[in-house]
Each structure stands twice: as structure tokens, then as C-alpha cells.
């Protein structure tokens, strides 16, 4: 583990815990935005810049603004305490879940290993070998998303559209603005 990765890991863990235990909602939103930014850098280190861009734009950017807008329209109970009272049974359940998931860590392959099922899969190598020749698109991720898997992506785009309609239904409004 390089020093950059170690610092990033500590940062992500610290902001995640801060998101959970801070009492003030504004502070929680800021901690959550910092957490999203840290995760975005983690995606970059894992060589997934497309996902990193999404995490930075949606997680750290838009979601934070929507949360801020929401708390600006609601009333926050005043309190002098810095942290929430930790619910011990809930903490225990969370700890057990983390421990159970942690047992699978040893089964994971090395980061960047060339012998993982994904890297050796026939489908992956077909995409990597033929994406440019068949679609004329240099970014293999885009070739898969919009080319080979275009129908799935149409479904995703319609889901985004449906989310907007759903919010209008929830807010009992007929126009967006």
C-alpha cells in the first residue's frame, strides 16, 4: 500500500464515521461530500475514471446541493452536542455485518491482478479486442454502454426520466419550476 492509498483510506474511513456520528445535519452533509470526493479518488486509483467522474459529479456535487436545499427548507433542532448518542445494539449489528463481510476480503484477488475472472473472461477480452474496430469509439466503456449494451442504457436513461416524474408525483406538482 502506497502512502497516498493509506492517507486516502484513513480519510474515507474518517469522513464515513463522521457522517454517521455527527449531530448537526449541515456538518453531516459536508462530511458526506468529503467522503464522496475521497471515494472518487479511490475509483481513480483503481483505474476507473468513468466511475470516478460520476462519483465526483453526483456524489460530491449534486447530491450535496440537493441535501443543502432540503435542510434549508426544514427546521433543525438546536443542540450543543457535537455527536449523536450511539445506539449500542445498532452499532453491534453494524459491527457484525462488517465482520461478516470482512471474512470475504482474503478471497479477493490482488488489485490489478491479471488472473481475475473479469480480466480472463471471454466477454471482457472480446470487448477489448473488438470495441474500436466494431464501433469506432476509443473509450471501451462508452462502446459497451452505448454500443453493445445500448438497450440497457436506454432503460437507465428512462429510469432517470422516471425519477423526475416520480418526484413531481411525490411533491404533488404538475410543473417542474
Partner 1 sequence: MSDSTGTAADDRLEVGAERPPRPYVESPIIMATVRIVAPFVFSLGAFVMFHGADSAGGGFQGGVIVGTVVLLIAIAFGIGPTREWISSSLLTLLVVFGVLLFAGIGLTALVFGGAFLQYEVIPVYEATKYGIELVEVGIGIIVSGTVVGLFFALAAGYRDPDGTEGER
Task: Report the nearest approach of partner 1 to the CB of residue 141 (Å).
Answer: 7
**Closest CB to partner 1 among residues 123, 162:** 162
C-alpha cell belonging to residue 167: 418526484
DSSP 105: G
Closest by alpha carbon to 34, among 67, 62, 64? 64
Is residue 129 involved in binding partner 1 (CB under 8 A)?
Answer: no
Task: Report the nearest approach of partner 1 to the CB of residue 17 (Å).
Answer: 23
**For residues 148-167, which are near partner 1 according to CB under 8 A?**
150-151, 153-154, 157-158, 160-161, 163-164, 167
**For residues 1-20, which are near partner 1 according to CB under 8 A?**
none
Given 13, 26, 91, 111, the residue binding partner 1 (CB under 8 A): 26
Name the one residue in this structure whose C-alpha cell is 479511490. 42
Is residue 175 involved in binding partner 1 (CB under 8 A)?
Answer: yes
CA distance 117 to 113: 10
Burial annotation 25-50 (CB, 10 A radius, 16+ → b, else e): eeebbbbbbbbbbbbbbbbbeeeeee
Binding part of the chain for partner 1, among 14-22, 82-90, 113-121, 135-143 by CB under 8 A, reads: 135-143
**For residues 66-125, which are near partner 1 according to CB under 8 A?**
66, 68-73, 75-78
Long-range pairs of 36-45 with CB within 8 A, sequence gap ≥ 24: 36/60, 36/63, 36/64, 38/8, 38/11, 38/12, 39/12, 41/8, 42/8, 42/12, 45/4, 45/5, 45/8
Binding site for partner 1 (CB under 8 A): 26, 49-50, 52-54, 57-58, 61-62, 65-66, 68-73, 75-78, 134-139, 141-143, 145-147, 150-151, 153-154, 157-158, 160-161, 163-164, 167-168, 171-173, 175-177
Amino acid at each position: 500500500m502506497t502512502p497516498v492509498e493509506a492517507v486516502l483510506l484513513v480519510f474515507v474511513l474518517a469522513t464515513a464515521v463522521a457522517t454517521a456520528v455527527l449531530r448537526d445535519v449541515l456538518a453531516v452533509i459536508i462530511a458526506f461530500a468529503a467522503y464522496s470526493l475521497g471515494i472518487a479518488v479511490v475509483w481513480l486509483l483503481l483505474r476507473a475514471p468513468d466511475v470516478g467522474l460520476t462519483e465526483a459529479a453526483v456524489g460530491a456535487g449534486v447530491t450535496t446541493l440537493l441535501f443543502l436545499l432540503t435542510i434549508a427548507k426544514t427546521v433543525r433542532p438546536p443542540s450543543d452536542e457535537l455527536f449523536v448518542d450511539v445506539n449500542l445494539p445498532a452499532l453491534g449489528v453494524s459491527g457484525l455485518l462488517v465482520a461478516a463481510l470482512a471474512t470475504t476480503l482474503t478471497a479477493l484477488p490482488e488489485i490489478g491482478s491479471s488472473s481475475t475472472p473479469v480480466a480472463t473472461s471471454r466477454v471482457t477480452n472480446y470487448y477489448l479486442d473488438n470495441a474500436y474496430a466494431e464501433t469506432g469509439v476509443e473509450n471501451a466503456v462508452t462502446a459497451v454502454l452505448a454500443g453493445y449494451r445500448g438497450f440497457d442504457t436506454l432503460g437507465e436513461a428512462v429510469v432517470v426520466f422516471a425519477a423526475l416524474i416520480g418526484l413531481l408525483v411525490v411533491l404533488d406538482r404538475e410543473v417542474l419550476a
